């Protein structure tokens, strides 16, 4: 009888009794179904309510002061978790602000999804001048791994599933997901909406290397007289830490960690060649790359950095097109890092030959010589501090707290910290990566604290800090355990340059003399410290880490300290004409 009664009701009445859902709820449920727990965003039209509703549904939503910083946070969340970090932005200008971080994620192979609201398609396509009108999908496509637009509520589940799979499968990267404003208010049957959602299964399946490729790589490695293993951030991302360590130790080969791979094995490990970098790059004859690319950071595998000794390269990478990108690869091994290293380890058998003793001994000797040479510089008590005196304090702080996350950016602040501060655990050092882009600092620091629950020590150049400094308010608002140390030498590279035109304006690389960055965080309720000596810096960092409270330390560095463009001054063209 109930069915008959329902059948007799007007269609409008039946529709009114059906349970409905809309685009807002479908987006949220699709994200939750796929394990999304955190979103990094800047609220505004048309995604303000989406952020509020995500928060009400139990997703943690952290609001930033600038979309670029929210994007950097999402990108490094992807690196740390192997799940796509989610950045949510408004349309047009907000989308553009997030685009740098999306391209950064793609270049660095970090899984990230940039979700942006957008104007209506029919208005954009006719260029009729809508609010923040822009063809965002077309702009995003060249800068990310994949880009999708969802126009209908019933396609939200598929759209989010495709974005997740694209972000993490194969070589990870950035994905753009365009959600026009009209989509959020679309209504559909709740049961049909639920059935339209997709839970992604095995988003990043293992890619097993070919047996012949594994055998070839081991044959080349076994024939080496001066072998070297280079660990890249891809090896750190893989989270195959035990297999990588077992392989390196079983091989007995010296290893050189790239900056974000530091800590896969401790920098104090007897096989670590970090302190003998120049020697091993020049003199090695066989180089095995594990999750590292022969890009500019490794001088493209050629030139004077690599010396005159002929090289054979073994490369392990999930992307076949990476092979032979700069030099010929004698033994390419294609597959995910974990599967490749496990296969190599298994194929080595029980009686792998020891690495040549004359080579390992020479590397160890050079490493110890360089460490001994640097030790006195880290003990400097000079006032004003130079970089090494300050970094001597900070390297001890990291040694005392090896589980803390080190965020690092700058020119000299980046280059010198990379070599000065030893790392002891994997994925504890995160920095500017492949692009060398400035401005990642505060976004990275926020995401590192949120995703890991660990204390964060952000070592910043004063110039680099300026790109994202307003996010100290965000750090204070969420009460995050972040200690920021600004190595302040009053300028870009150094604070002693002069206006060569003789005018009253400061030189282009000079900042306000004696700036007190510590006062910024005090405005938002955090702790600010002005440290002028190594002892003051030591006490301030120890107190900050112990307290777990937002802290900014203005570490006063000699304005004359620092070199032009850090260690890559050769990339800065010089005029040949003298006037």
Strands ordered across the beta sheet of 312-317: 255-257, 227-231, 286-290, 312-317, 331-334
Share of the chain above pLDDT 90, in %: 91
Q: Closest Cα to residue 44, out of 96, 90, 88?
A: 90
For the domain with range 20-196, which CATH number is right: 1.10.10.10, 3.40.50.970, 3.30.70.141, 1.10.10.60? 3.40.50.970
Residue 55 DSSP symbol: H
pLDDT in tens, 167-199: 999 999 999 999 999 999 999 999 999 999 999
* pLDDT range class, residue 579, cuts 50, 70, 90: low
pLDDT of residue 27: 98
| Element holding 125 (H helix, E strand) | helix 121-125
What per-residue confidence (pLDDT) applies to 15? Answer: 57
Mean pLDDT to the nearest integer, 469-498: 97
* Cα 258 to Cα 429: distance, rounded to the nearest angstrom: 10
Cβ atoms of 404 and 421 within 8 Å: the answer is: no
Query: What CATH fold (topology level) applies to the domain 379-567?
Result: Rossmann fold (3.40.50)
Please report the pLDDT score of residue 146 as a whole number. 98
Q: What is the pLDDT of residue 571?
A: 75
- Cβ atoms of 488 and 462 closer than 8 Å: yes
Residues 6+ apart with CB under 8 A from 492: 411, 463, 509, 510, 511
- The DSSP code sequence of 424-464 is -STT-EEESTTTT-TT-HHHHHHHHHHHH---EEEEEEHHH
Q: What is the mean pLDDT of the chain?
A: 95
> What tens digit of pLDDT does each residue of 285-300 get?
999 999 999 999 999 9
CA–CA distances in Å: residue 393 to residues 39, 93, 372: 35, 42, 17
Nearest in space to 221 (alpha carbons), one of 192, 255, 272? 255
Calculate Rg over the CA atoms of the chain: 26
pLDDT at 152: 97
Whether pLDDT at 8 is above 90 = no
- The whole-number pLDDT of residue 320 equals 97
Query: In 3D, which of 388, 455, 450, 409 has the Cα closest to residue 428?
Result: 455
Residue 1 has pLDDT above 50, yes or no: no
- pLDDT reported for residue 60: 98
Comparing 35-39, 464-468, 563-567, the range with the smallest average pLDDT is 563-567
Q: Is pLDDT above 70 for 4? A: no
Q: Where are the alpha helices (DSSP H) in 323-386?
A: 337-348, 357-378
The closest alpha carbon to 404, from 345, 368, 448, 469, belongs to 448
Alpha carbon distance 159, 164 (integer Å): 9
Task: Please state the pTM of the whole predicted model.
Answer: 0.95
Which segments of the chain belong to CATH 3.40.50.970? 20-196, 379-567
Please check whether residue 439 is in contact with residue 69, taking contact to mean a CB–CB distance below 8 angstroms. Answer: yes
Is residue 2 very low, low, confident or very high in pLDDT (cuts 50, 70, 90)?
very low
Query: Lowest-pLDDT range, 120-134, 334-348, 431-445, 527-541?
Result: 120-134
The side-by-side arrangement of strands in the sheet containing 405-409 is: 429-431, 405-409, 456-461, 482-488, 551-556, 527-531
The pLDDT of 323-332, averaged and rounded, is 97
377-413 tens-digit pLDDT: 999 999 999 999 999 999 999 999 999 999 999 999 9
pLDDT value at position 309?
85
Contacts of 578 (CB under 8 A, 6+ apart): none
Nearest to 287 by CA among 246, 320, 258: 258
Q: What integer pLDDT is reported at residue 254 of this predicted model?
A: 98
pLDDT beyond 80 at 497: yes
Q: Whole-angstrom Cα distance, residue 159 to residue 169? A: 16
pLDDT value, residue 18: 79
How would residue 129 be classed by pLDDT, with cut points 50, 70 and 90? confident
Q: Which of 349, 311, 320, 319 is nearest to 230 (CA)?
A: 311
pLDDT digits over 238-270, tens only?
A: 999 999 999 999 999 999 999 999 999 999 999
- Range 133-158 average pLDDT: 96
In the chain, residues under CATH classification 3.40.50.1220 are 211-365
Query: Are 114 and 175 in contact, with CB atoms under 8 Å apart?
Result: yes
Residue 569's pLDDT band, with cuts at 50, 70 and 90, is: confident
Average pLDDT on 447-454 reads 98
In CATH terms, is domain 211-365 a member of 3.40.50.2020?
A: no
Give the DSSP H or E segment for 41: strand 38-41
Grouping H, G, I as helix, E, B as strand and the rest as coil, residue 62 is strand
Contact of 38 with 77, CB cutoff 8 Å: yes
- Which residue, among 265, 262, 235, has the nearest Cα to 253 in the 3D structure? 265
Contact predicate 399/451, CB 8 Å: no
Those residues with Cβ within 8 angstroms of residue 211's Cβ, 6 or more apart along the chain or in another chain: 343, 347
């Amino acid at each position: 009888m109930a069915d008959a009664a329902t059948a007799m009701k007007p269609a409008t009445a039946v529709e009114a009794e059906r349970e409905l859902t809309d685009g807002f709820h479908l987006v949220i449920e699709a994200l939750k179904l796929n394990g999304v727990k955190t979103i990094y965003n800047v609220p505004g039209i048309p995604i303000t309510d989406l952020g509020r509703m995500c928060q009400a549904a139990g997703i943690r939503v952290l609001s930033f002061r600038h979309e670029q910083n929210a994007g950097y946070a999402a990108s490094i969340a992807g690196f740390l978790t192997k799940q796509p970090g989610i950045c949510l932005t408004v349309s047009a200008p907000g989308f553009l602000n997030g685009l740098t971080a999306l391209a950064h994620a793609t270049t660095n192979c970090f899984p990230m999804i940039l979700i942006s609201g957008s104007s209506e398609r029919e208005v954009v396509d006719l260029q009729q001048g809508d609010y923040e009108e822009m063809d965002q999908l077309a702009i995003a496509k060249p800068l990310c791994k994949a880009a999708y637009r969802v126009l209908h509520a019933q396609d939200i589940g598929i759209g989010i599933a495709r974005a997740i799979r694209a972000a993490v499968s194969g070589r990870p990267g950035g994905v753009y997901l365009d959600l026009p404003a009209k989509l959020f208010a679309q209504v559909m049957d709740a049961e049909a909406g639920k059935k339209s959602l997709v839970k992604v299964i095995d988003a990043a399946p293992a890619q097993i290397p070919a047996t012949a490729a594994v055998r070839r790589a081991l044959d080349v490695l076994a024939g080496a007289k001066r072998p070297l293993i280079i660990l890249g951030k891809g090896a750190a991302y893989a989270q195959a830490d035990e297999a990588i360590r077992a392989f390196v130790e079983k091989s007995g080969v010296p290893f050189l960690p790239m900056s974000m791979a530091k800590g896969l094995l401790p920098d104090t490990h007897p096989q670590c060649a970090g302190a003998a970098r120049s020697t091993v790059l020049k003199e090695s004859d066989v180089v095995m790359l594990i999750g590292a690319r022969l890009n500019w950071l490794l001088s493209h595998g050629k030139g004077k950095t690599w010396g005159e000794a002929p090289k054979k390269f073994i490369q392990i990478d999930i992307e076949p097109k990476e092979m032979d990108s700069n030099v010929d690869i004698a033994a390419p091994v294609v597959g995910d890092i974990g599967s490749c290293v496990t296969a190599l380890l298994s194929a080595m058998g029980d009686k792998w030959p020891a690495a040549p003793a004359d080579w390992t001994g020479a590397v160890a000797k050079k490493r110890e010589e360089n460490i001994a040479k640097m030790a006195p510089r880290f003990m400097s008590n000079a006032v004003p501090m130079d970089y090494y005196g300050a970094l001597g304090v900070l390297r001890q702080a990291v040694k005392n707290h090896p589980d803390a996350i080190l965020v690092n950016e700058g020119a000299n602040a980046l280059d010198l910290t990379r070599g000065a501060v030893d790392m002891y655990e994997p994925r504890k050092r995160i920095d500017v990566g492949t692009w060398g882009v400035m401005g990642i600092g505060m976004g990275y620091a926020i995401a590192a604290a949120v995703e890991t629950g660990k204390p964060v020590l952000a070592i910043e150049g004063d110039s680099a800090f300026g790109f994202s400094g307003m996010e100290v308010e965000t750090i204070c608002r969420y009460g995050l355990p972040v200690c920021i140390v600004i190595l302040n030498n009053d300028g870009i590279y150094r604070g002693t340059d002069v206006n060569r035109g003789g005018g009253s304006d400061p030189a282009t690389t000079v900042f306000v003399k004696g700036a007190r960055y510590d006062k910024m965080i005090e405005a938002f309720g955090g702790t600010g410290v002005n440290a002028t000596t190594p002892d003051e810096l030591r006490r301030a960092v120890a107190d900050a880490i112990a307290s777990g409270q937002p802290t900014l330390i203005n570490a006063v560095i000699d304005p004359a300290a620092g070199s032009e463009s850090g260690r890559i001054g050769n990339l800065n063209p010089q005029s040949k004409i003298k006037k």
